[in-house]
């Protein structure tokens, strides 16, 4: 692969107690591309995604071996700061989870706790982040209304804006459309493609059409292993492994 690698895992293994959830995963995530992780329920997609920004640290029973490199530096190195990692590698979850605050405060929250106090600067960050998440036009006249008054799709784009506001390089998305209707889903998919101009996006999805439509690269996982990783067109048109072919043609799942 001749793309520039932003995140790389090397022989990554993860256990939840005795459960061996990730087995020898070595993968290179290309910069400024959308990578989709697909595979049947329980195969380890979300676990792999969470390893990329140390969210699994929050699960007491989890233990890892191997390496996860971000721009060549091991994020599990004793000196690495998990909070700084999560600023650079942001995450958007399955269910939109805005704070019970107004729209403006949801986006301003991250920059504020990182010390941005100047109102003009915060205004600019809020506007740019909402534009980046394709939400500005819909909310610019109601910035001080509760975030929870937005539709589900708007709330998810607000969560994306909140992630953008702290200046990430990578955005991890764990089934970001699973709680949304088809129109809201299409908007998020368009946004994902657009975000890859400025960011690297990794998305976990159950929806193979979504992976085919919105991603440049696809990893197929099965029982904790990464079976195949390649350009999305290759995975869907000419997979190298029979297991991948059986999955994408719907023979199991």
Ligand X SMILES: Nc1ncnc2c1ncn2[C@@H]1O[C@H](COP(=O)(O)OP(=O)(O)OP(=O)(O)O)[C@@H](O)[C@H]1O
Q: Taking a C-beta distance cutoff of 8 angstroms, is the pair 94, 174 a contact?
A: yes
Q: Which residues contact residue 243 at a Cβ distance below 8 angstroms, ignoring those fewer than 6 apart?
A: 220, 222, 227, 228
Burial of 113 from C-beta contacts in 10 A (0-12 / 13-18 / 19+): exposed
- Least CB distance to ligand X at residue 225 (A): 12
- The answer to whether 46 contacts ligand X (rule: CB under 6 A) is yes
- Rule CB under 6 A: choose which of 11, 19, 73, 149 binds ligand X: 19
Stretch that binds ligand X, among 15-23, 122-130, 144-152, 176-184 (CB under 6 A): 15-23
Q: Taking a C-beta distance cutoff of 8 angstroms, is the pair 13, 226 a contact?
A: no
- The answer to whether 114 contacts ligand X (rule: CB under 6 A) is no
Collapsing DSSP to helix, strand or coil, 96 comes out as coil
Stretch that binds ligand X, among 43-51, 84-92, 104-112, 139-147 (CB under 6 A): 43-51
What is the footprint of ligand X within residues 49-78 (CB under 6 A)?
Answer: 59, 61
Q: Taking a C-beta distance cutoff of 8 angstroms, is the pair 121, 167 a contact?
A: no
User: CB-wise, 41 or 183, nearer to ligand X?
Assistant: 41
- The answer to whether 21 contacts ligand X (rule: CB under 6 A) is yes
Stretch that binds ligand X, among 36-44, 67-75, 183-191, 212-220 (CB under 6 A): 36-44
Q: Taking a C-beta distance cutoff of 8 angstroms, is the pair 18, 50 a contact?
A: no
**Interface size with ligand X, residues (CB under 6 A):** 14
- Rule CB under 6 A: choose which of 15, 16, 109, 136 binds ligand X: 16
* R_g of the chain computed on alpha carbons: 18
Residues that bind ligand X (CB under 6 A): 16, 19, 21, 39, 41-47, 59, 61, 206
């Amino acid at each position: 692969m001749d793309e520039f690698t932003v995140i790389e895992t090397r022989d990554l293994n993860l256990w939840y107690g005795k459960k061996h959830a990730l087995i020898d995963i070595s993968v290179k995530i290309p910069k400024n591309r959308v990578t989709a992780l697909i595979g049947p329920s329980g195969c380890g997609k979300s676990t792999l995604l969470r390893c990329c920004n140390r969210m699994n640290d929050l699960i007491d029973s989890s233990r890892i071996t191997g390496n996860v490199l971000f721009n060549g530096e091991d994020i599990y190195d004793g000196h690495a700061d998990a909070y700084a990692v999560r600023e650079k590698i942001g995450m958007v979850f399955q269910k939109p989870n805005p704070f019970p605050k107004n729209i403006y405060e949801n986006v301003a929250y991250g920059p504020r706790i990182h010390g941005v106090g100047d109102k003009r600067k915060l205004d600019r960050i809020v506007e740019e982040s909402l534009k980046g998440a394709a939400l500005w036009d819909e909310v610019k006249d109601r910035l001080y209304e509760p975030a929870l008054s937005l539709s589900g799709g708007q709330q998810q784009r607000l969560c994306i804006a909140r992630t953008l506001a702290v200046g990430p390089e990578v955005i991890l998305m764990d089934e970001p459309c699973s709680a949304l209707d088809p129109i809201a889903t299409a908007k998020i998919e368009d946004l994902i493609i657009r975000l890859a101009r400025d960011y690297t996006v990794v998305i976990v999805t159950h929806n193979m059409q979504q992976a085919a439509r919105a991603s440049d690269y696809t990893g197929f996982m099965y029982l904790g292993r990464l079976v195949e990783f390649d350009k999305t067109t290759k995975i869907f048109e000419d997979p190298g492994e029979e297991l991948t072919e059986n999955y994408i043609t719907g023979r199991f799942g």
